Structure 1
Amino acid sequence: MIKVERLSFSFPQKELYNNISFTLEEAQHCAFIGTSGSGKSTLIDILMDPESYLFDGKLEMDPGCTIGYVSQFSELDNTKETTVFEYIAEPFIKIQNEIQSICTEMETSSDIEPLLEKYQSALDAFDAMGGEDYESNIHKQLNLANLMKRRDLNVSDLSGGEFKLVQVMKEMLNRPDLMIMDEPDVFLDFENLNALKKLINAYKGMLLVVTHNRYLLNHCFNKILHLENMEIQEFDGRYIEYNFSLLQTKIELQEIAVAEHEEIERNENIVKNLRVIATYNSEASRGRALKARVRFQERLEARRIKAPFVEIKQPNISFGTGNEIDNEDTIVVNVNQYSVVFDELLLDKVSFEIKSTDKVAIIGSNGTGKTTLLREIYTNNQDSIAINANAKMAYLSQLQGEMLTNSNTILEEFIDAGFSTYDEAREHLANYGFEGEIVNQKIESLSGGEKNILQLAKVSAGQANVLLLDEPTSHLDTYAQIALENAIQAYKGAILMISHDFYSVVNGMDYVLIIGDKKIKKMTMSKFKKMIYESHFDKDYLDTEQKKKAVEMQIELALKETNFELAKGLIDELEGLIKLL
């Protein structure tokens, strides 16, 4: 077990944690969630290397505790000419070679005792890793992730998503006491995401996973750690049950808050009357009554419910109207006989068109040329790509440094983007959660999620009528993802979006363009859903998920109207749908 008690930590410019406590226990699969910039990655760094951080509080961990780690920013080493099997087996082969070396040394050494100790220590380490069966265990993992066909390929020949899965396998097979993964799902296509789900669910050890992916959250974890506003909350159970618990709490707290507000208003009126009386009646008893009422008022204010995990502010994402092109049949992007070639042909003479109000997702496996296509539509330097003269495009890149200057402060970035005054830039940035001194921070100091929200703020500021979005939900917390979906639904212009986030595609797009066999074909949303159902979801899963979302929206509306009886009735309906999921 790993135990954290009353831990506090801050950077010079930002306090991250205030007396947070939690435990991680054997075999728990824990999802670590929280809004962007709340300090999840820093807390992981503290767990991995506590000696490097000056924090208050206690961190209890066995001195021999081993930690495996998969970073969110893992880069493929293209210079390494080693096969996938050799890469995963590297720790096992290393100990095997060490054992062989000790045996060779023992054949000629006169002092054998220390060598026997080294030999036994190496054998114990090999055994602890399950070394005796490592080849069959590697094959099991490769089969589970549908990557057995990649076994003898060089690591450098893998796509980014495949390499991420291989990294996960390698760390899992080392059998650490605690396995930590920081957003392992980022940029994974549907097939690889499903493989990651299988790897997580088959893992027998203790897991701590930072993720905002709703598919993984709903299917992989039995404990939730939620970090917000310097506080942490533990929940034993599934993410879907945690959200249900939050909604129940929200109804209770709002009902209490309304009652408290009414009580405070009544008391304020009494205080006002007593003050009026006190101006022309100087009796001591009147003064005492006034003081008693003021103290009572202070106590009421002090016990107002504070719920940092219930009322989490979503960024106010808006892309404007996007309707400068009045005719919805106007073609704004025309791709005709377009091809992409790198080491091999990725797209072969593909053609499609986007109209002025179309919202379209490009779907395809990692490494099929999607990003190159989107970037070349934006740069508009290809003879095979024609852009309407009235189209005003904005681009969000999955390579955040492509559209953001890391050496800029947030404020400088938006002055460079065209805002005429600092006040205008500050007002715009406040809608996206960048307020106060944070606007003077360098962009390079921001988390991946904060950088993506900043990109969305730049896209919004452009007032474009054609949006090109490359993995816009990557690194975004679930609250920002929902805000983005709402902004997409409200937008009247054209959107061409690369995404592996099933929920964003289904909730916001009109149709999809599927890449397969170097071609692109148009697919209706109903056919796309059916295809994904068959590969990734249980029967009727998404329909139930959509009904659940509709009931949750009805509850939110009931709360806005302070109709608590209706909200409580809908909660019962919601609970029934959650049982089906």
Structure 2
Amino acid sequence: MIKVESLSFSFPQKELYKNISFTLEEAQHCAFIGTSGSGKSTLVDILLDPERYLFEGKLEIDPTCKMGYVSQFSPLDRTKETTVFEYIGDKYIKIQNEIQTICTEMETSSDIEPLLEKYQLALDAFDSIGGEDFESNINKKLNLANLMKLKDVRVSDLSGGEFKLIQVMKEMLGSPDLMIMDEPDVFLDFENLNALKNLINAHKGILLVVTHNRYLLNHCFNKIIHLENTEIQEFDGRYMEYNFSLLQTKMELQELAVAEEEEFKRNEKIINNLRAIATFNADASKGRALKARVSFQARLEARRIKAPFVDIKEPNISFGIDNEIEDMTVINVSNYSVAFDQLLLDNVSFEIKSTDKVAIIGPNGTGKTTLLRDIFNNNHDSIEINADAKVAYLSQIQGEMLKDSNTILEEFIDAGFNTYDEIRSYISHYGFEGEIVNQKIESLSGGEKNILQLAKVSTSKANVLLLDEPTSHLDTYTQIALEKAIEAYKGAILMISHDFYSVVNGMDYVLIINDKTIRKMSMRKFRQMIYASHFDKDYLETEQNKKAVEMKIELALRNTDFELAKGLVDELEELIKLL
């Protein structure tokens, strides 16, 4: 259906692709992954509209290929008075209305011939888009996503997550041969994420989905396309199997590297001995031997593995603290209420201790972001912040904390840095290398903007962090780095997140929004609740066993015990089959 061959493309400040090739074929549900800023969204744009881009190489698209597209940035139009059903079935309803209008005209017209022709054209157009079953198909999709309750709701009254799902349904309804979605999962709560999973898995055409969501990656795709360091790698299989394949390759390379290192050191010793001899013996044969050994050493160095897909560097996220607070309450919320058009939260009370790590969990549109912003602004009668608390805030609305017209350099001067070199050195830990400091914020990807927000939060040395969807747009490597930083952090964290893994891997407990109020739930109970609702009976136990084996393999590799690691890899493979 689509074939990309030796494609290269650059922006003035950055090379994105160098001779990349891949295919998209019938029945493939493909996840498109890669680190933030690697060019995934740009490649999607090239596929959608090749004429806009001056690239080298070949892009072959079947001329009969019908494409559907869901953007990562689709603001909800609050003026839309149409219902969800009318929005999804818009093009069908228009033709249906046109047919009805023609029929009405035919009842009174004396010249019926042109109307008959018009009527036939409208019927043909309706049939060509599968109009006969459109109402039934909309109902099926709403049922599949468990959103039938929204059928007659106005689009303007939807939450952002619900609107994203409605867009997906609208595009899928047209039965495109190739459906492209760019981060459709961002900001979806867990129920809506499961709805998206169901829609993806039921779709009959080819899918190309840019996503970093580990839940979707593990449950939705049979092909992986990985873009990294201007190169692409294709893998036919599930994401878990792809990671398993990478682990095997990493082990082989590490074992080879250890053997090469020993050979390298042995050769280095011989060279040093030959050099020592050459200082008091001018024998030509000894000089030739030395030259040969130096040449061999250069070849050994050149042969060392440089594999862009095997060991990707995680950013070094670290949240330091200027002053730790002893075990006491840092945030106290008492009888908090908030309403817009309707009451969202009522009589909410909770407290956060100085080392608590807490996630606020609840459906889209239930007031979570408003609550977090009110805590940060600290101007609400129901909210009390400890006088010793220094609070930092990461917003899901990136423009709230980063100014698009600023360069990265200007953002960090505003954050208190004094010199160019100081800024450049600091942001290199977050994956920003070279002259990127002079780029404007508006030119960065969504993931890069969120990493910059994390870097700014880190500079604050705050002892209380308020994080609103910190994993949104982040690649999986940065998500894992963030989890490690949260685990090592000595202060308090209050985090809104729909990313299940970030919550269960980093939080002490959760605050669940239910029926306009908040209740505390232990992490153990939260995990069990999620797994009982959305996973097979033994999935939790199998996943925990898998994680334990992965940790043993990591330890064995650290100790260069390759025999033990290989035995554990066989055990890991069996667990992956169960998942």
Q: TM-score, normalised by structure 1?
A: 0.95
**SS of equivalent to 1:514:** strand
Written as runs of structure 1 = structure 2, the 5 A alignment for 1:451-530 is 451-530=449-528
Quote the residue 1:42 is aligned against.
Answer: 42
C-alpha separation in 1, matches of 2:123 and 2:550: 56
Greater CA drift, 391-400 or 84-93: 84-93
Quote the residue 2:175 is aligned against.
Answer: 175
Written as runs of structure 1 = structure 2, the 5 A alignment for 1:337-356 is 337-356=335-354
**SS of equivalent to 2:365:** coil
Change (3 A) 1:536 1:446: same
Which residue identity does 1:10 align to in structure 2? S
Which residue identity does 1:184 align to in structure 2? P
C-alpha separation in 2, matches of 1:121 and 1:239: 46
**SS of equivalent to 1:63:** coil
Which residue identity does 2:35 align to in structure 1? T
Greater CA drift, 199-208 or 57-66: 57-66
Report deviation, 1:273. Answer: 3.6
C-alpha separation in 1, matches of 2:134 and 2:507: 45
Which residue identity does 2:564 align to in structure 1? L
List gaps (5 residues or longer) in structure 1. none
**SS of equivalent to 2:89:** helix
Residues 449 and 476 in structure 1, CA contact (< 8 A), matched pair in contact too: yes
C-alpha separation in 2, matches of 1:13 and 1:353: 48
How many equivalent pairs are there? 577
C-alpha separation in 2, matches of 1:316 and 1:366: 31
C-alpha separation in 1, matches of 2:29 and 2:104: 43
**SS of equivalent to 1:375:** helix
Which residue identity does 1:245 align to in structure 2? S
Report deviation, 1:282. Answer: 4.9
Asked if residue 415 in structure 1 is aligned to residue 400 in structure 2, the reply is no
Residues 323 and 493 in structure 1, CA contact (< 8 A), matched pair in contact too: no
Q: Deviations over 1:15-58 (max 9, x none)?
A: 00111111111121000000100100000000001111111111
C-alpha separation in 2, matches of 1:549 and 1:425: 37
Residues 68 and 180 in structure 1, CA contact (< 8 A), matched pair in contact too: yes
Quote the residue 1:270 is aligned against.
Answer: 270
Report deviation, 1:284. Answer: 4.8
Quote the residue 1:562 is aligned against.
Answer: 560
Q: Deviations over 1:364-420 (max 9, x none)?
A: 100000000000000000111000000000000000110111111112101101123
Residues 91 and 174 in structure 1, CA contact (< 8 A), matched pair in contact too: no
**SS of equivalent to 1:80:** coil
Written as runs of structure 1 = structure 2, the 5 A alignment for 1:88-487 is 88-97=88-97, 125-278=125-278, 281-282=281-282, 284-321=284-321, 324-326=324-326, 328=327, 330-487=328-485
Residues 357 and 507 in structure 2, CA contact (< 8 A), matched pair in contact too: yes
Greater CA drift, 453-462 or 121-130: 121-130
Which residue identity does 2:373 align to in structure 1? R
C-alpha separation in 2, matches of 1:322 and 1:103: 76
Quote the residue 2:550 is aligned against.
Answer: 552
**SS of equivalent to 1:140:** helix
Residues 361 and 497 in structure 2, CA contact (< 8 A), matched pair in contact too: yes
Residues 393 and 466 in structure 1, CA contact (< 8 A), matched pair in contact too: yes
Q: Deviations over 1:262-314 (max 9, x none)?
A: 22222333334444445555555444434433333333222222211111000
**SS of equivalent to 2:352:** strand
Report deviation, 1:122. Answer: 5.7
Greater CA drift, 343-352 or 530-539: 530-539
C-alpha separation in 2, matches of 1:360 and 1:51: 48
Report deviation, 1:97. Answer: 4.6
Sequence identity (%): 80
C-alpha separation in 1, matches of 2:528 and 2:543: 15
C-alpha separation in 2, matches of 1:279 and 1:287: 10
C-alpha separation in 1, matches of 2:104 and 2:147: 37
Which residue identity does 1:360 align to in structure 2? V
C-alpha separation in 1, matches of 2:124 and 2:254: 57
Report deviation, 1:423. Answer: 2.7
Q: TM-score, normalised by structure 2?
A: 0.95
**SS of equivalent to 1:59:** strand
Greater CA drift, 120-129 or 43-52: 120-129
**SS of equivalent to 2:54:** coil
List gaps (5 residues or longer) in structure 2. none
Residues 406 and 444 in structure 1, CA contact (< 8 A), matched pair in contact too: yes
Quote the residue 1:538 is aligned against.
Answer: 536
